[in-house]
Amino acid sequence: MAALLLASVFSFAQYSDAVLFDAYLRADMSVWNSYLHAYNFNKLSLAEKERYLNYEYGYVATAIDLKEPDAEQHLQNFEKHIEALKPHLEKAMYLDYLSSCVAYKALMNKAKFISYGLESKKLIYEAFEVDSLHPSVLTLKGNVDFYAPKMIGGNKKRALGYFYKAQRIFEQKGDTVNNWNYVSCLQCQIECEDKIGNTDKAIRLARKLLARYPQHAYIRDTLLPDLLKKQKKK
């Protein structure tokens, strides 16, 4: 019994929110992959399942982007887990996760990219109607508007408004500590400011983010250097 308890405590420490957040900042998503493989979803408590789903939500996008061999399996698991938790999730978050799942399918199936994209947009708009003040819903709605072509309603300036509103709500709720969703929202602001022509502001925001999270590898090593190069060419 004592050995089982000790193993449980060690496992929690190994994959605590602080550890997973640090891995996110360092762009070492192998830690997230190890976490997702370390647990049997069906044996977790409800709170642990909801936590697991949020990390799965973030990891699937990375797995697809990096063309990981298990990306499709992770996506299938994510969809299955969303449905398993449907009775327990806030309706807005259920729709948020479902919208993301469909968007991931679009990335995996270019032949259905437009149809999946429209379905993903429909779902996140439904989520927004249910709860227009949920920061995760606002962030995803911003992403949908940011990436969608103008011909199907994309609008980067509108997206930026959603990102800033999401940031304010995260901060008002005090939901910023070891929260990858919050930092992802801040990164979206930087990228969006740049795309609408505000490169100087994007640089200021990137430096502000790095001052707070100096280990953020993507901002430090890729995004900020790219922005500075772009600024010099002006």
How far CA 150 is from CA of 107, 153, 155, 197, 211, in Å, comes to 19, 5, 6, 17, 35
pTM check: above 0.85: yes
For residue 12, name the pLDDT band (cuts at 50, 70, 90): low
Q: Provide the pLDDT for residue 200.
A: 96
- pLDDT tens string 156-170: 999 999 999 999 999
Question: Domains in the chain, start-ordered, CATH in brackets?
Answer: 132-234 (1.25.40.10)
Give percent helix, percent strand, percent coil of the chain, each to the nearest 5: 80, 0, 20
For residue 152, name the pLDDT band (cuts at 50, 70, 90): confident
pLDDT of 217 over the 90 cut: yes
* Averaged pLDDT score across all residues of the chain: 92
